[in-house]
Amino acid sequence: MGTGSADNTCALTALELTEAYRNGSLSPVEATEDVLAAIDRVDVDLNSFCIVDHDGARTAARRAEQRYRDGAAVGPLDGVPTSIKDVFLTAGHPTHRGSRVMAEADDGSAPTVDAPVTAATLEAGCVVVGKTTTPEFAWKGVTDSLLVGITRNPYDPSRTPGGSSGGSAAAVAAGLGPLSTGTDAGGSVRIPASFTGTVALKPTYGVVPMFPSSPFGTLAHAGPMTRTVTDTAAFMDALIRPDSRDWSVVPPSATSPEPGGYLAAALDGARDVERPLRGLRVAYSPNLGFGTNDADVEREVAAAVRTLEDLGAAVDEIELGLSDPVDAFHVLWFAGAAAVVKPLGEGAIDRIDPSLRDALSRYHHFTAQDYLDAVAERMSLGVRLGEVHHTYDVLVTPTMPIPAFAVGSDVPPGWHSPDWTSWTPYTYIFNMTQQPALSVPCGMTDAGLPVGVQLVGKRFDDRVLIRAGAALQPRVADRVPRPRIHACAGTDR
């Protein structure tokens, strides 16, 4: 895949890049050219991008370079090569949301406005190199579509990177830009983070504004996808800008009273002290009461929990005894999925992802009472998990109970269910409760596939997760080597 050296810019984090820009050892133009060349060279094997904007990225990089020359960098991420998931409006480029139906209906007039996440990314000075792949309408936990085909995992291209933000995760893991954006209405940033050895935060609902509103309603969150918790924190500080187009957005002060508060929390957690998490109360639930884990996953997550203890956290393994809320989730989820397809017109149902069509045929007989019952169950879950946080600051679970499986299917080969929710028990529950959840890579299976640990906080305690994750990640980083397909393959991570 290439012969880059250890100092190849594609191996640097976002904050390492901007430090190099400030000290003059590297420029935004050089970094952007390296990333664009890497995309051209590497993405043929991954298919993580659906649009690569060479000209636009070069123009943005030159502007960023001039700002550094003038001593006028706009923030800690100015000039960093970044990608945008193809569900966010991006002025001047189409947003097809992975849908062949939408692409066929495209009249060639690209959007003239940016989604809040896109606007915030640009205002932070990031250099947008392109848009990343998603399954149709971001509806499932793997990334393939009739429009752009199959996206593959950098650790093993025969495996899925997960989804629905699988293109973003694969790009970040492979060194094709250290930052990307994703959405998560049932696990869509955390599933691929776990499968690709990357970091992803699903913030508390409403912290990062969204427009247009998601068809999946108040299940849907937008969040950053990176390689380090510290970069995640810096990106969050940029993304929490207010936007009046989202009526449900909360003030930035809800989770970060001071500007730069997320990055400050990460730097606090990453301090080189013996026990930086002293006083943090952690509840460890290996299965939430209803999940079943691959043995390698359970081993690696348990090791990460022991590391949290070594860092000073007080850890209790608890029995939550929850029942799987998947039936209620399906009511909320597929009501949204049906709402996506209906406006596409007569016959559209026959031209969408066949697995989405099949799922809608199984889940469409919902009544108003079913919906109200699902909302009631959602409220009860929120109460129950809120009680956990009366005692504990952080709840720890595996992000995923299994490692990445073969591409070409929505579920692992021979799986007992056709539903993607059947193999993601620890993600969608926290969309129902709207809590913040952070996935951190913590180890590898015996087969060489990444494992993620999930840190969950009470609503609006996002920075507590950042602090804990930033302390944890450096202590487990050597357990997660660089993927086989990478922009600077052959070097150490």
Catalytic residues: 85, 164, 188
Let me know if 324 is exposed, middle or buried by CB neighbors in 10 A (0-12, 13-18, 19+): middle
* Cβ atoms within 10 Å, residue 491: 18
CA-to-CA distance for 140 and 411, rounded, in angstroms?
10
DSSP 135: S
CA-to-CA distance for 183 and 165, rounded, in angstroms?
7
CA-to-CA distance for 74 and 30, rounded, in angstroms?
19
- Tell me the pairing of strands 221-226 and 179-184: antiparallel
Closest CA to 235 of 343, 84, 91: 84
Angle between the 229-239 and 116-123 helix axes, to the nearest 10 degrees? 110
- Alpha-helical segments (H) within 312-403: 326-341, 354-362, 368-391
Tokens of residue 326, six digits = 């998947």
CA angle 233, 237, 239 (to 5 degrees): 110
Closest CA to 26 of 36, 41, 39, 16: 16
- Collapse the DSSP code of 398 into the 3-class scheme (helix H, G, I; strand E, B; otherwise coil) and give the result: strand
